[in-house]
Amino acid sequence: MTHVGKILVLVIMAFSLLFLGISTVVFSTSKNWKTATEEQKKEVEKVKQKLSEAQAKADEAKKQLTDTQTAAAEATKQLNNRIRELENQNKLDLDQITNVRGQLVKAQESAKSALDEVEAKRNETTLLRSQKSVVEKQANEFKLRQAELNDKIRELERVLETATKNNSDLRETVAKFSSLLRSAGLSDDISQIKGVERPPAVTGQVKRVDPSNRRIEVTIGADDGLVVGHELSLYRTTPRPEYLGRVRIVSVDPDQAVARVVGNTYQGKKIKEGDVVSSTIVPRF
């Protein structure tokens, strides 16, 4: 027998032993499988029963779920409607808030303007009160002054009444003297009456000279005692003292007079503004 044949014999023997073992196991365990199968069937029946119960419960739960979903859908619809209503209300509230804010801003601006106006009026009132106080004080002073002036007016009225009476008496006296002068062939014009007395002690200056160098205006007049006809000496003090001549008063005002040169000026000298006229200086030749 060849080596291959031996191997094949060994393989056949191995498979034979394997099959023998399997047959023995199957024969020994066939009764246990039957019992197990019966028990499994019972378990299956129990499982089927539980499955039926679970299916019933599932159907019930499914029904409840459907009802719940329907109620939830209805509640969701109601909630959506409520949300839309709230959104619309919120929009209206926002618009109203915006409007109120605008009105509030305008009200604040108006209030600020009103406060500024009130402050200005308060300042104006304070100023007016101050001015009123000053005016009242001045009015009181004016009243006192008015009382004094009324007293003064009454006094002056009495003086005026006396002066009017004296003036009337003087007019009558002047009329009598004028009538007497005219009856004697004399003029009653006082400006034409020449002063016969010596002029008072006065000293003035030449403030204007006419182009002919014959008439001058001097800074002294009736208030200083001058009358028409008084004669004064005319001098120059700068640049050196010198005699210029004499002038005669021809017109008198209270604070000035007009004089005319008597004859000619000394050595034909020209009279200038600022030269001196005096009744106290006597020329020496």
Domains of the chain: 196-278 (2.40.10.340)
Band the pLDDT of 259: cuts 50, 70, 90. Answer: very high
Task: Give residue 238's pLDDT band: very low, low, confident or very high (50, 70, 90).
Answer: confident
pLDDT in tens, 127-140: 888 888 888 888 88
CA 272 – CA 235 distance, rounded (Å): 10
Task: State the DSSP H helix or E strand holding residue 89, giving kind and residue range, or none if neither.
Answer: helix 3-183
User: Helix, strand or coil for residue 142?
Assistant: helix
**According to the model, what pLDDT value does residue 132 have?**
83
User: Would you say how long the chain is, in residues?
Assistant: 285
Sign of CA dihedral 219, 223, 228, 233: negative
pLDDT at 56 > cutoff 70: yes
Q: Is the pLDDT at 194 greater than 60, yes or no? A: no
Per-residue pLDDT tens over the stretch 155-176: 888 888 887 888 777 777 777 7
**Mean pLDDT for the chain?**
82
Q: Which residue has the higher pLDDT, 8 or 29?
A: 8
For range 206-226, the mean pLDDT: 93
CB 216 within 8 A of CB 206: yes
Q: Determine the Cα–Cα distance for residues 200 and 205; give it in Å rounded to an integer.
A: 16
Does residue 217 sit in helix, strand or coil?
strand
The answer to whether the beta carbons of residues 235 and 242 sit under 8 Å apart is: yes
pTM over 0.95: no
List the one residue out of 181, 160, 250 whose CA is nearest residue 214: 250
How sure is the predictor about 283, in pLDDT bands with cuts at 50, 70 and 90?
low
- Measured CA to CA, the distance from residue 232 to residue 283 in angstroms comes to 11
Least confident stretch, 65-69, 202-206, 274-278: 65-69
